[in-house]
Amino acid sequence: MMQILGLYNYWVFAILLMTGIYIVISRTNLIKKLIGMSIFQSAVFLLYITLDKVEGGTAPILQAGAPEQLYSNPLPQVLILTAIVVGIATLSLGLAIVVRISEAYGTIEEDQIREMDS
Amino acid sequence: MVTFFGLFVLTLLVITAIGILRAENLFAAVMLTGLFSLLMASIFFILDAADVALTEAAVGAGVATVLMLSALALTSDREQQQRRRHWIPIVVVSVTTLLIIYATFDNPRLGDPGAPVHQHVAPWYLSETPRLIDIPNVVTAILASFRGYDTLGELFVIFTAGIGVLFMLSTDTERSPLTLLPNPDTEGLRHHQVPRIIGRLLVPFIVLFGLYVQFHGEYGPGGGFQAGALISAGFILFALIEGEAAALKVLSFRVLAGMITTGAFLYVAVGLAGIARGGNFLDYSVLLDDPIAGQHLGIILIELGVGLTVTGVLLSVFHAFAARRQHS
């Protein structure tokens, strides 16, 4: 039972990853596509943070006087911590581009923009 | 108990993602995205990643939601009806999901101490941090010192993205968000008493907590990235209830632009100071005569640089969207 439950995080990762990319592929609305991209990104974050967990461990903040304490892996946390903030910066750049597209074309639906361009 | 709570929250996460997929009203989709981030932050906390949970809660549930709502206000909040079903994407996505799930049966189970990821550099970081850097928070030690190069790179990505947004949203000098002050009378929630009074009570505590997270990041969960996100969230809340003009009086565009550049400059300057003192780039041990004290000084300075740049970028991006709305 626990052997299978120990994989549940990875399954959720797989489903979220593919939900995100499905939104990017199938929706024509540019803001919806950006939301899909951030779901995709969050799924990757979930994968990394799942890897860091150690059974019986705690957050990697060293405790004085507890030399036997187990700690979870700090390295994936560092990578994801910075990635989240980079993610919001790039998301806002994407949103700025969408705003400019909307002002230029009057729509943010990809198929309508493509018709106007052709 | 914690395991089952984790399973419950993960299931909610999947349901929320499907809700976002199905929502045709973009406003609803954005609100669900905020919920999604909050659930994700809870998962991170359950998985022992306190620093990451703090960041995700402030960035994902706070700042990202507000930025997406600002973008919706400038575009449209309805998605057009999808004309046809996309059979090929559905098939491709389902097959890939099943393949990934099939592959996970070879993965180490959650929390397995023998997993390969725990064998390589992580034990070294955990055992050597007290000797080389002597701060309790190993995440901060790796972020600021051991892997300072990576963080410098990340900071410049944020810097570049922030500059990019400011360029995208200011076409000519008259419309530049850097020179515009929005109309103070017609905006904000100043006519709604309940959110206004409650919000005003919260703002100082959010900013104070952000400062605590900034300067206590070596000892508890925290650091420049988290603090930057929290302080921006506090000021954005202030701007939402009192209007952007009131927020710009506290921190004007000029100050924000100064914060963006000062932060990035401070980080690079600390790195170059290491070279000037005869060490390597971003080697803090040589900054002072005592290597440990040098490490502490270096970490505090670069975390300050990160905090300044992140706050500056997030706030100026928010104001750039808001100014565009005022004058479009």
Q: Can you tell me the ipTM of this complex? A: 0.94
Decide if pLDDT at B191 tops 80: no
Cβ contact (<8 Å) for A53 and B47? yes
Of B30, B44, B310, the CB nearest to A85: B310
pLDDT of A79 above 70: yes
The string of pLDDT tens digits covering residues B290-318 is 999 999 999 999 999 999 999 999 999 99
Give the tokens for residue B139. 């995440």
Instruction: Give the residue, B24 or B209, on which the prediction is more confident.
Output: B209
A100 touches chain B (CB under 8 A): yes
Beta partners for residue A54, in sequence order: B111
Residues A23, B110: C-beta atoms closer than 8 Å: no
Contacting residues of A for B125, CB less than 8 Å apart: 74-75
Q: Above pLDDT 90, what percent of chain B?
A: 58
Phi, psi of B315 (to 5 degrees): -70, -40
Q: Is B119 on the interface with A (CB under 8 A)?
A: no
Distance (Å) from the alpha carbon of A40 to chain B's nearest alpha carbon: 10
Residue type for position B76: S
> What mean pLDDT do residues A73-94 have?
94
Min mean pLDDT across A53-57, B140-144, B169-173, B193-197 is at B169-173
In this predicted structure, what is the pLDDT of residue A38? 95
Q: Is the pLDDT of residue A74 over 70?
A: yes
Residue with the larger pLDDT of the pair B79 and B263? B263
Tell me the per-residue pLDDT of A4-33, one tens digit each, with 9 for 90 and over: 788 999 999 999 999 999 999 998 899 999
Give the tokens for residue B123.
């034990």
Q: What is the mean pLDDT of chain A?
A: 91
Does B86 contact A90 at a Cβ distance shorter than 8 Å? no
CA distances from B138 to A61, A76, B129, B141, B228 (A): 6, 12, 7, 5, 20
Size of interface A-B (CB pairs under 8 A): 290
Q: Rounded to a whole number, what is the distance in Å from the CA of B305 to chain A's nearest CA?
A: 14
Which residues of chain B neighbour A82 with C-beta distances below 8 Å? 143, 150-151, 154, 225
Give residue B248's pLDDT band: very low, low, confident or very high (50, 70, 90): confident
Q: What is the pLDDT of residue A40?
A: 96
In eight-state DSSP terms, residue A63 is -
Once rounded to an integer, what is the mean pLDDT over residues B191-213?
90
In the block, residue with structure tokens 């700090």? A74
Q: B110–A99: do the CB atoms touch at under 8 Å? A: no
Subunit contact A74:B157, Cβ cutoff 8 A: no
Residue B177 has pLDDT above 70, yes or no: no
Please give the pLDDT value at position B273: 93
CA torsion sign, A11 to A15 to A21 to A25? positive
CB B227 within 8 A of CB B213: yes
- Please indicate if any CB of chain B lies within 8 Å of the CB of A10: yes
pLDDT of residue B182: 53
pTM of the model: 0.92
B265: confidence class by pLDDT, cuts 50, 70, 90: very high
Chain A positions in Cβ-Cβ contact with residue B70 (cut-off 8 Å): 95
Residues 173-202 of B with CB under 8 A from A: none
Q: How far apart are CA B153 and CA B303, in angstroms?
A: 14
The confidence band for B184, taking pLDDT boundaries of 50, 70 and 90, is: low
Q: For residue A71, what are the β-bridge partners?
A: A58
Q: How confident is the model at residue B218 (pLDDT cuts 50, 70, 90)?
A: confident
Overall average pLDDT of the B252-278 stretch: 93
**Per-residue pLDDT band at B187 (split at 50, 70, 90):** low
CA of B138 to nearest chain A CA: how many angstroms apart? 6
If you average pLDDT over every residue of chain B, what do you get?
Answer: 88
Instruction: Give residue B142's pLDDT.
Output: 93
B53-96 pLDDT, tens digit per residue, is 999 999 988 899 999 999 998 888 788 777 667 789 999 999 99
Q: How far apart are CA B200 and CA B204, in angstroms?
A: 8
| Span between the terminal Cα atoms of chain A, in Å | 57
